[in-house]
Amino acid sequence: MITEFLTIPGVLILLGCFLLPLLPERVRSSVFLIFPVAALAFIMMRPDGYTITGAIGNYDLILFQMDELSRVFGLIFAITGLTAGIYAWHIKDLSQQVAALGYMGGALGVTFAGDLFTLIVYWELMAVTSTMLIWARGTRESDRAGMRYLIYHVLGGGLLFAGILWHFTQTGSLAVQTLEYEFTVANVLMLLGVGVNAAFIPLHTWLSDAYPKATITGTIFMAAFTTKTAVYVLIRLFPGWEILIWAGLAMTLYGIFYAVVCKDIREILSYHIISQVGYMVVAIGVGTDMALNGSAAHAYNNLLYKGLMFMAGGAVMYAAGTSRLAELGGLGKKMKWVFALYVVGGFSISGLPLFAGFISKGLIIDGAGYAGYEGVMLLLLLAGVGTFLSVGLKLPYFTWVYDAGNKIDLKPIPVNMYIAMGMSAFLCIFYGVFPNALYTFLPHEMDYNPYTIYHFVEIMQISLGTFVVFWYLREKLKGEIVMVLDLDWFYRKAAPATRTVFVNKVDRFYDLVEEGILATASWSAKVFKNPMTWLNPFTDKKNQASTYSPGMEVVMSFIMICFLAIAIFYFI
Amino acid sequence: MNNKIWIALGILFLVTLGFEFTVLADYDSHWWNAIPAFYAIWGLAGCIVIIYVAKFISKKFLNRDIDYYDN
């Protein structure tokens, strides 16, 4: 029983968090890699329908549950954990390693959770461990962004937990299963809770605020787990909820807009995550078998190529010490491998043939088209234009091709970074060329071949059109040192006012009350220290207790004793 | 940019256009398929709109100094 319990990927990896600190520093990074590999092995071994149960009090919990959907997400989380672990192999910081491992454990735990209580535990674990990856950067900016991130995720986790409790009291069920399309309090709370992690607009600001400020290696983990676990939970709980189509569409277009106007590699890529997750959310809203497959496949591929792009962007930042486009440029000759690997990611995410994006983006866009949402399909294609423009052309052009005349001293990049990027790039091309290697893992039966002439014509024409416009208008997208406001303005600008009202004013009130109490005490001590001045108005006001007559002392003592006796009697 | 690349891209476009008019059997699944080279136009026009609209909104309302929140 115990050994079986240890084969749960989430538990296994969390054990690693306790093991890592006990190991010597030089083997730690290598041992780190064992855990995602072991998780991968156990995920491949377990057949569909395999469950491990446990109980806490009267509640029967399903600690592990395997089916097609959890397998495909589990596989890619473990693979990403492995590549990100290799990318971060040169890092010796124990706290980052433990946090990253715990974060991966949380993501795998959510994926295989068979009930909502197990799910929320891993969910909250992810929030805490990922915050550590932001704080590990150690700058004033990252400290503050980490705190905002944590507050946001505590709020999201709280909403989800409240929804789960409400749902449980209403239905008595803790099962992770499809919810009816009804806006009951429980459902809305759960949707909002998951929506925070999925970065629904306007709940997305934690992502674009914190991801660019985390450590270079930490961002690779963050770009992978939080939003994609949310996509997984959305597929589980809310498939076919039509509102998700509109929520997702808003995300794709909003993300694209910011990816076009931002001027920092990591900001561009972070906003672009929102756009990509938007595609998946649209597909979940459409809810047909094909669209749900598309959502899972796109999440799978997205982890590969988005990870690759963040890795390449991180490599530039590592080497050059900056990720601002205005301070980069002309690195093509000096970093040609990183450039080439990035381009694989850029072509994949833009959905060009022979790359991974081609086989999953088409599933979503065609899925929406077949289900009758033609307007949605056109807007998704428009978002595809923005994708190619922002991360497929603008970002690589101003980093590697365009020479702004900046003098940049490059630090050599560790070999392990190249290995990790190479693995991801290989998988991007592998799945692009052999789509069935991925399609066989998808949860629903479908008959779909991405390599049709129609699909080829569609994507090539769109990409050609985009490229021509980019080439003639590229000066408009040139890097500048600028910050683009987002909706976090409302709470970041309101922070001083909020602090004044809820912290400083409250503090001041307590101060006043305390001062009042002290003043009353000192006044009464002064006035009542000599009762004779009250009992006998004709005596000298300044008379001293030591000058009382013996008779007076007896009376005073008697009063005091009576008072004490009454007090003791009353309390006993 | 190299003329050869432009020529290659031009040929690629003509190939897609050729496919559109000849080989495609299911080229009527959406209303816009009646417009020749619709996807190229969508890409072209979409890209222009995105660049100008995004540029306009960010310049007009959203761009700030890099240390905006610190001050």
Residues of A in Cβ contact (< 8 Å) with B5 = none
Chain B nearest-CA residue for A387: B47
Rounded CA separation A428/A447 (Å): 22
Task: Check residue A5 and give its pLDDT.
Answer: 85
d(CA A63, CA A69) in angstroms, rounded, equals: 16
Q: Which residues of A touch B21 (CB under 8 A)?
A: none
Nearest CA in chain B to A145: B69
If you average pLDDT over residues A92-118, what whole number do you get? 95
CB A375 within 8 A of CB A245: no
Q: Which residues of B touch A (CB under 8 A)?
A: 1, 9, 12-13, 16, 19-20, 23-24, 26-27, 29-32, 37-48, 50-51, 53-55, 57-58, 61-66, 68-69
pLDDT of residue A525: 83
DSSP-assigned letter for residue A324: B
* Residue A539 in this model has a pLDDT that exceeds 70: no
What confidence tier does A553 reach under pLDDT thresholds 50, 70, 90? Answer: confident
pLDDT higher than threshold 90 for residue A408: no
pLDDT of residue A538: 66
Tell me the one-letter amino acid at A98. Answer: V
Region A70-80: what's the mean pLDDT? Answer: 96
DSSP conformational letter for A136? T
Q: Can you read off the two tokens belonging to residue A34?
A: 């064992």
Q: What is the least distance, in Å, from the CA of B27 to any CA of chain A?
A: 7
Q: In angstroms, rounded to a whole number, what is the distance separating the alpha carbons of residues A535 and A546?
A: 16
Contact between A555 and A532 under an 8 Å Cβ cutoff? The reply is: no
pLDDT of residue A496: 87
**pLDDT class of A540 with cuts at 50, 70, 90:** low
pLDDT, one tens digit per residue, over A231-289 is 999 999 999 999 999 999 999 999 999 999 999 999 999 999 999 999 999 999 999 99
Burial of A204 (0-12, 13-18, 19+ CB in 10 A): buried
Return the amino acid letter for A283: A
In the DSSP assignment, the letter for residue A273 is H
State how far Cα A175 lies from the chain centre.
Answer: 24
A396-405, A460-469, A528-537, range with greatest mean pLDDT: A460-469
Quote the pLDDT of residue B20: 83
> Given this model, what pLDDT does residue A3 score?
84
**Does the structure show a pLDDT above 90 at A309?**
yes
> Is the model's pLDDT at A543 over the cut of 60?
no
Q: Which residue numbers in chain B have pLDDT < 50?
A: none
Of residues A4 and A163, which shows the higher confidence score? Answer: A163
Q: Delimit the domains of chain B by residue range.
A: 3-66
Mean pLDDT across A432-446: 92
How high does pLDDT run on average in chain A?
A: 92
Q: Average the pLDDT over A370-398 and give the result.
A: 94
A277 neighbors A198 (Cβ within 8 angstroms): yes
Give the pLDDT mean for A512-517. 97
Provide mean pLDDT across the span A359-377.
91
**Where does A451-498 have alpha helices with state H?**
453-473, 488-498
CA dihedral (A360, A363, A364, A365) in degrees, to 10, reads 110
Interval A38-57 mean pLDDT: 91
pLDDT for res A552 = 78
Q: Hey, of B17, B47, B70, which one would you mutate to test binding to chain A, going by the most A CBs within 10 A of its CB?
A: B47
CB contact under 8 A, B66 and A482: yes
